[in-house]
Structure formats: structure tokens, C-alpha cells
Structure 1
Amino acid sequence: MSNSAIDITLLGRTYSIACPRGREEALRAVAKEVEQQLATLRTRTNNLSREELAIMAALNIGYELFEEKQKNKQYMAQMDERISLLQVTLESALVERTRKED
């Protein structure tokens, strides 16, 4: 899969970013989210430099990702428990059925 370059604008600066073909819209969506984070931070804290804004946005986005990963882990643990319970229930039903057939 080859890459193409797309332009994204963050805080008034345009960057040319290499992107795998077919993933351009995903990158644009991510860039839009980052720009929204940066704009929100800029309005709340007028005295931060461009670099400080970028760091704060990265930390906010990183925290959101961490929270989503934690939720995913919890969900997977719940699904593992439910699958185990279902397996036990099915095994019990099969054993009971076998006993009735004998």
C-alpha cells in the first residue's frame, strides 16, 4: 500500500502528512479533533505557546485514549466472564441431557 500526502492545518499552520491511501479521511478526522482540542485550550489559556498547547492537547488526548483502553479491558473481562458462564451452563445442560437419555 502506497502513501499519499495530505495537508492538514493546526493552529494556522499547514502540515503535509504522509498517509496510506484510503486512510485520508481518518487522518483528516483525527486532525479535526486535534484542532478542536487546541482551539479549546487556546481559549482557556491565552498565554501558552504553540508548543505548550501541543503538549497539553497531547496529554488530554492521551488521557482520553487511556480511559478508553481501560473501559475496553473491563468490557473484555466482563465478556470473558459471560462466555465462561455460558460454557458452564451449556456443559451442565449437556450432562443433564445425557443423564436423561440413559
Structure 2
Amino acid sequence: MSEEHRPVSVVIMEKEYVVACNDQEREALFHSVEFLNRTMIELRDHGKVSGSERIAVMAALNIAHDLLEHKRQNEVYTNNVDAFMRRIEKKITDVLAGGERVLA
């Protein structure tokens, strides 16, 4: 597989764009284009937004909002897992040190 970026043609809302992409990123690019195209068409078809530029901006805002929400949820999950791991580690340390009997 090549690290060289090659031009790749994609279509978003019936308009063709050429972007540079290496072989390793090609599949992810096509999935991204498919997702963006679907999002923009939904905005256009549901009559919420008109005009390609406004549709693109609204799609970008929606996608950015979803991304930030997933990051926030992931951070909460990570913090919960970290706290759980610290509790488990303390229980293990207590047991190995001959401390109190640990109950689940």
C-alpha cells in the first residue's frame, strides 16, 4: 500500500469533488462521503435548510455536535472505568497485604 496521496473523485449532493487520499484512507474517505452526503440530503429533503452552502454549514454543525457529544460520553465512561479500576486495585492491594476481607 502506498503512502502517496492520489486524487480521488467523490460526489456529494450531485456535485463532484476531487480530493487527495492515500490508499489506507480511501475506504474511510468513502464512508465519510457517504455519511456527509446522506446528512446533507436529509437536511435538504426535509426542507429545514435551502442552499448548498447553508446545507453544508448545518450538516457540519450537526456532525460537530454529535462528535463532541460522543467525546463527552466517552470521557464520562473513561472516568467511570478509571474509578472502578482504582477501587479494584485497592481491594487487591488490601487482600495481598493481608488487610480486611474484601466482599464484592
Please, what TM-score do these two structures have when normalized by structure 2? 0.87
Q: Could you tell me how far apart the structure 2 residues matched to 1:72 and 1:47 are?
A: 31
Question: After alignment, is 64-73 or 38-47 more displaced?
Answer: 38-47
Q: How does 1:57-76 map to 2 (within 5 A)?
A: 57-76=59-78
- Tell me what 2:20 maps to: 18
Structure 1 residue 82: Cα displacement? 1.1
Q: How does 1:78-97 map to 2 (within 5 A)?
A: 78-96=80-98
- Say what the alpha-carbon RMSD is for the aligned residues: 1.4
- Structure 1 spans left out of the alignment, 5+ residues: 98-102
Whether the aligned pair in 1 keeps the contact of 2:9 and 2:17 (CA below 8 Å) is yes
Q: 3-state SS of the aligned residue for 2:98?
A: helix
Q: Could you tell me how far apart the structure 1 residues matched to 2:48 and 2:78 are?
A: 41
Q: Could you tell me how far apart the structure 1 residues matched to 2:49 and 2:91 are?
A: 61
Structure 1 residue 20: Cα displacement? 2.2
Q: Could you tell me how far apart the structure 1 residues matched to 2:89 and 2:6 are?
A: 48
Structure 1 segments of 4 or more deviating over 3 A? none
Q: Could you tell me how far apart the structure 2 residues matched to 1:46 and 1:73 are?
A: 32
Please, what TM-score do these two structures have when normalized by structure 1? 0.89
Letter in 2 for 1:71: Q
Letter in 2 for 1:8: V
The answer to which structure has the higher helix fraction is 1
- Structure 2 spans left out of the alignment, 5+ residues: 100-104
